[in-house]
Amino acid sequence: MVGDLWGPQAIWIGTAIATMGIAFGLWWAVFALIELMRLRRTGGVPFHIGWWSFVFPTAAMAICIGSVGDATGLMPVKVIGAVAAFTLACVWALVATRTMLAVSNHRMHDAA
């Protein structure tokens, strides 16, 4: 276990880093939401392989929230972590489904 090897301060250092990950993830989520709303007003966002770039930040934030919830034991943080994990599953499922449909229809576009 990490706490046994590095001492209890390693848990708190990890929690501080995870908290920074949450802050960055929230900043990214606000920026992405604003940008997607702008694009939706101008005709929407057609599917392309770049949609996978939404999965990693969502996963990173869900993992960070779960880590902080485990380290602190706070039930509200654990609930938020569960919601974040569910959101990640939904984002992943949407992008994976759209990717499979695009591949089956031979409609993959270059993201570049």
In the chain, where the domains are located: 2-104
Return the pLDDT at 89. 95
pLDDT tens track, the chain, 112 positions: 555 666 778 888 888 999 998 998 889 889 988 988 888 888 877 788 888 888 888 899 999 999 898 888 889 999 999 999 999 999 999 999 988 988 888 765 544 4
> What pLDDT is stored for residue 111 in this prediction?
46
pTM for the model: 0.73
E strands of 16-110, at which residues?
none
Torsion sign over Cα 50, 53, 55, 56: positive
Beta carbons of 94 and 102 less than 8 angstroms apart: no
Residue type, 1: M
What residues contact 78, with CB distance under 8 A and at least 6 apart? 66, 69, 70
pLDDT of residue 84: 92
| Residue 86 pLDDT | 95
Q: What is the pLDDT of residue 76?
A: 92
